[in-house]
Each structure stands twice: as structure tokens, then as C-alpha cells.
Structure 1
Amino acid sequence: MYAILDIETTGGKYNEEGITEIAIHKFDGHQVVDQFISLVNPEKEIQPFVVNLTGITNKMLVTAPKFYEVAKRIVEITEGTVLIAHNAQFDYRILRTEFRRLGFNFERKTICTVELAQKLLPEAESYSLGKLVRSLGIPVSDRHRANGDALATLKLFKLLLSKDLDKTIVKSVLKAETLGELSPRQLDIVDDLPSEVGLFYMHNKDGEIILLNKSNNIKKRVNQYFTNSGNRARRIQKETRKVTFEKTGNELIALLKENEELGRNKPKYNPFHKRKLFTFGVYASLNDQGYLQLKAEKLTHTIHQRITTFNSLIAAENFLHAVRDEFQLCNKINGLSQAKTNCSKYDEGTCLGACITKEDTETYNHRVKELIQKYSLTEKNIAIIDKGRILGEKSVILIKDGVLKGLGFCDLNYQINNLPILESIITPMEGNENTNHIIESYLRKRKVQKIIDIKE
């Protein structure tokens, strides 16, 4: 017996959402034998974007039953069934969270139609519910309303059952283990975690770290580890006895701490910690005409100056295209054009003629040096300032002579501006090519609050 489920929520912070509408169709594999559809008063405001998406407004829910008033009906209609939902992990998590607030441990087996479709419909262009059912010619109405989406999921599930010649769906229902289900102990662990950026550490019964990761949402990521299937995931779930965490305030601090601590702890379930995090670089050298040329190349030990590093040649070349526009550089000089005379950008007026030696080398090279100053840490003495872990706190990353020296947190500006004080409050870290790669890659894509020059 199956219970086809769809839930609409208020939106908002992870694990703080409230249910606004629920639809359940009890399905015996052939026909619907019971159903329950209801708006639900979440006792909190609906996020505006959710109102626009679903059409459900706060006013519509004023007289709707609260969750505790429909909880018994939900338990009864799903008793002895397997919950079926499109992205089942989401609906099941929301439902369990609501029941947990009532002091009830709601447990059901689950099957996700996204995962089923990926196995049984491998050629599909998209596995979002709307696009998938349209591609299959399944009629759907009231999209983003609980009953409309539940009916679409029911029709999709019927089709998947018919395509499942190996009967993997039925076999999975008969397995003793449950999919996507947290034990009470794991629920307690997840409940104590913050929905914030930082690092988390999974410990075994001896207190050893068996896995550590950075995440922009610690609670959500740990929950995923506890609900994933697969042999590795199940081993992690079985061995984890405690999860500790450390807030970092921003992702760059988390990335640097993760890199450092993986090398120190070498947790058994983390992938092998690579010696180098990058394989390509952008290098600067003088060409025969005296222009500073930039080339994207595989990692080398050349005497040419390496400006910054990348994970792929495409990423390095995309960087060259971007800085060409930013600093009015020449494609031909940088190896992005094979033109015999001038590059095409000169015809467009965005190249100033270095390709045909029309622009003097000093002016052109000055712009290249500005680029290097902006995008490379080489020989820099700076402090990177960004958000801290709490309001009013700042995070600080100290770079001296182009190398990471450490990071820390402070409350007062004079702690940042006074180098001896700053060096005393930071946690020393080993700076190397990997840490430079992490910092430079982050600064290319993200903004920090400010970067200040540090003077001895």
C-alpha cells in the first residue's frame, strides 16, 4: 500500500517551515482507496515568493485547521503505507518535523519518484515534476498546489510501476530497512545543529572524527548524510555517535579550516586529500615585442610568474576572456586569437592595438600589472575582513608576503589595524599553494566586506 503525498509550506529557514497545505492519496497499486486534502494553518507568515508560487495567502489559512487538528488523520491514512513523493526527502522531513513538535515520532518508509525516474527514465531532459510529467504527456492542473502536484505524482508513479520490469519498486518496499528515515538518536543530533555556515565533525563511539565537511547550512548537510542511501552512507550512519560543529560566519573561513583540518585529521570517510587542489594556472611573461603576455597552461615549474590557479583549462581561459574586457587586453598577445594581423577586438575598438604593436608596451604592461595586483596574492601583505560568527564580530584572514599566516575573529577595528595584536589573536595556519588557490578562487567569485593593506 502506498500514500502519495505532497506538501506546500510557508518557506523560510531550514526546519522552521510550516505546512500550509497537504494532500495524501492512499493507493493500493491499482486504484486510490482513500484520500485526505486540506489547507493547514501554519501559525506563521508565508514567504511572499511562496504566495506568488502557490497562490495560497495568509488570509486563506486563518480559518484552516492547525496541524495538531489534522495529525491523527494523517497518521491513520498513512498507517502501513510507503510514502511516495517527488523529492520525498523534503516532504518527509517537513512531516516528521511537524509531528516531532507535537512530541510524536512519525516514521514511514519512503520512495522518491525523482530517484525512480532517474533510473527508469534515464533519457529525460529534466526531472522536475512539471517538466517531467509534461514530457510524458501526463495532464496536470493546479501546479504548486498540494492536490494538483499529488495527483501528478500519482500518475507518474503509476507509469513508473508499469516500466519497472525488474520490480525494484516492489522489492524496495518489502525490504526491512527504511529509506530516508532518521532514528530518534539521529533526529536529536540534527535538532541540535545550526542552519548556518561552518564545519561539522562526525565522531564514532571512540570520539574519533570519521568525517568532516564544510557547509553553508550545517543542519541541512548532516540531515542529508543521515538520509542518503548507499553502502558508504549507511556505514557513516551506523558509526556516527555524535556530531560537533564550528560556526565560521562565512564560507571562505570554512573552506580554509576544512583544508587545514582534513590534512591534520585525515578522517576515514573523507576522500583522499589531494596534494594539489589545482592543475592549471595563468602565467605572465614578456613576449618578443616586450608586452606582458598571459597564458593559460597546465601546472608547470616554469620561471614565468604564475598569477593565479584553476581547476581546469576552460576555467583559466574563461578568466583570460573576462580580464581582457576588464583591462582592455589583447587576445592575440594572450594566445586567445590566431589572427595573422590584428585581433578581432581591435576592429571592435576594445583592443588598443598591442596586437600590431600600435600601443606602447609601458601603457599596456601597466594594465597587466594592475590585473596581477587585483587577482594574485603574490607578495601581498593584507588582511581580508568579512562577517564573523555573531553580530558585530569580524573574521580576519592574514596574508604576509603572499602567504596565509592564519585566521581569527575580533570585535574591534584596532585589533585589525595593530599587526602585533592581530598576529596574537589569529590561529596560525600553514599557508601554501593550496590555501592561495582557495583564497584567490573565492575572491574571483565572491565579495568580502573589505581588504586592507597591512604595514609592519
Structure 2
Amino acid sequence: MNQSKKQEFAIVDIETTGGNAKSSRITEVAIVIHDGNQVLERWETLVNPGKEIPNSIFALTGIDNDMVKDAPLFDEVAEHIFSMLKDRIFVAHNVNFDYSFIRFQLQESGFEWSAIKLCTVRYARKIKPGLLSYSLGRLCDYLDIPIENRHRAGGDADATAILFAYLKVLDTDQVFQDMIKHKAVDQRFPPHLNPLEYEQLPNEAGVYYFHDKDGKVIYVGKAVNIKKRVLSHFTGNNIQAQRQHFLKEIHHISYECCGTELMSLLLECAEIKRFWPKYNRALKRYEPKFGLFSYEDQNGYLHLAIGKVNRGQSCIQLFQREYDAIQLLQSFIQHGDINPQFCQFGQASLSTKSIKKDELPDRDLHNTRVERCIEDWLKQQPSYVLIDRGRHADEKSCIVVENGLFYGMGYIDQYCQYQDLEDVKGQVQKYQSNHYMMELVKMAAERQPAKIYFLTKTTVLPAKAAETAFSYNKWAPNSLFGLYE
């Protein structure tokens, strides 16, 4: 930093045509140069954004298209803005918003610029904790700071300068010096997030939740290291509209530690299905398209049908490809001796409406065949537990698969005995199975066969005889849940 400008501050406020730097433009800029004690210089200008100003923005700021039509383009004032900001600490209320716009438009004008940032929202939280709101207007009301021309760059910049000076007088511990360090974590945070919530995050695997001001979950994520992963959301200078809105809505963070990355992945998926958060998109799209269903018609006959799966809908089996569903249904018909007229292959389906009443098979016999076919298919699907490390030394993580479907997961005391499948199921939390979760478990089982124990419902009493209930594969250790060496 240039010694002549050391510890000088450029207090900035801007007005724009919208909420993100990439698709919106600056309409007004005000810069107040401050040495920490007094104002050294002040400059402001309207800016022609080169695009229409929306009515909603006009209603907020009072700036309309006529006001800016003769104002300079940003390119024409970029060099002057750059000279005022260069080598100074960039100060603003909700600093990342103003910073992202200024940096992006300076870049477009050919000026490479970056600066140390100081957010007066965060500064106020540290110096005056416990206030109900830290918006500029509310802070000025609380602290009796005069504010004129609200929602205009000049008026807001002047008020921010007075607020900054006021906070510095109260800052007897020189808190701001820690805030302006090059690697100060605080400056990366969303403006409404209390840094203490971040500091309390663990460096462990698990799931984290971002909440809005009302406590509603707006994002769920998984991490090998929760603290490190959460911080990564706030780094960089991403100017995409979605990220800008996302950061503004984050008010709180909560978390749940998990024993392994797989447990984190499964819990993340389950929680996304439960909360359906606003900003989660990837796992929402990962849904199997087809399912094999069973239903009873008005005459009491069971049908087997292939169809598209709606969210939360249960079925016998899920498929990514319709072809695979057809293959399974055809095998049901062949091996279960099921009348194909009661089977529906997608759009090309038949129903009992096309079957004459005197040609209908015996209903009880037909239904028994369908039920037995489904039951036999489910019995062929494996039941097993995947045992891995827990959240601490006295427990293990436990994932239960029953008849080829993800049943649930949880944590078990490694010193307890579990005698059969029902006993284990009673120790874990049940979740609604879905295709993605089951694929995750299958992949883990293939990679780590030594952690898999196949289960039956046979009850056993002595722990040493556990092999009859938990018949593990040949690669598994000769122990029940790894408890007996």
C-alpha cells in the first residue's frame, strides 16, 4: 500500500439498475475519502447506465432515465474512480455489493483493481452488538446520525462516513485493524451472518444448513470439513445474480456432524428431500424417471404398470431407463405366470376394459401370483449393514439396507450386541429411500466390502454365534460389527 495513503479510507455508495453486477449497471457513485478522523475529499456523480432504469428502482431511488441521459458513461469516469480508490481501504455498508459492481465495471473499462474491504454492517455488529437491525437507516436512527437523500449515493455515503467515524471513536480495542487484514475472514461473510456462528463450526465431516431471517432452511450442503466448506461459499468475487441473492439471504448457520463422508452425503440428500431448500438444485434434478408400480383396479384385480415417477411417490423399483423397467416387468410375466393383459408398459398399455368379463382369470389366483412375484423379487434383493467409524471413539456409523432399499442410518454403541435385523433397525433412524441414496450406498459397498455385513431375520443369542444372523462376505473381518476380534 502507498505510504501516503496508508490508513486512508474510500467510503463508497452506489445506486444501480438491479441487484447483481453482471446484468445490472451503476447509475450513481459517491466516494468520501476519510483518514479515520475526518473527511478529506468528497466526489459524486450520476452515471448513464446505457440501459433502461426499471420502475421499481426509480420508486426506490428517484433516479429515472431522464436524469441520467446526459450523465457521463462509466467509462468516462472510470479513471477518476480508480484514482480515488487506488491504495485505499474500501468501506461500504454491505461492502460486497458495492465492491462487486465497482470492480466489475472498472475491469470492463480496462482497470485491474482490488482492495482491502471494510463492511460497516460487520463493524457495527462488533462495536454495537445486540441491535435488532443493522440496516443503514435503522443504525442512523439508533445512533442519531443525520441522513439526507436516503437511497441516493451521496446521502448514503455521507451517512456511512459519519457512522464509520462514530464506530471508530467507540473502537477502543482497534477492532477494525483485525477486520482489514488481508486475510480477515469477516469481510468475506454475508452481511447478515454473525461471525460467531462461523467460529463455532467444527472441522469435521457433516452437513451444514444456511437459514434465512425467519429460520427457514434455504440451503443444505455436505462437507468433509464443515468449517472449511462453509467458508468456500463466501470467497471469490462471483457476480452471478443467484450468488448475490443467496448471500444476502443467509442469516444463520447450523450443522450436524457425521462419522463419514458417506453418512454426510446420505444425510444431505435426505434433508434436501425434507426441506426442499430454495438454493439447492443439483440433487433436486437427480431423480429416477421411471418406476414399476402395483395397483388394484375397481374390480379388485392387481395390475403391474410402468410409469413416470412423481416426487415422493413409492413404487416396487426405480429406474433411470424405461427399457430396464420393461425388462423387469417381462421377467415378472414370464416367471410369475402373470396375465400380460394386467401389465401396462408405459403408453402402450392395456387395461381390463379391453378384456371381456367372461375372459377374466380367477381374481384370487391372479392376485396371489402378482403378490408372490413382487415378494420373491424383494426377497432376492440383499439386506445388509455397512459399518464404519462414528463421530467419536465409542460409536460406529451404521447404514441399513433392507431388501435392496435404503432403510435408514444412525450411530450405534460399539460395545453393544445386536442379534438380528430388527434389533439393528431399532437403533437407526428410518428415512424414505430414493434411487440416488441407494446408488451411493451401492458404490460404497463395492469399494469397501470389508465393512458390509449381510443380514437375515434369524434371531441368535450368543454373540459368538452371530454368523448365523450376520453372514458376512469372505472379505469381512471375523467379527460382528468389528466388536469381537
Using the size of structure 2 for normalisation, the TM-score is: 0.43
Using the size of structure 1 for normalisation, the TM-score is: 0.46
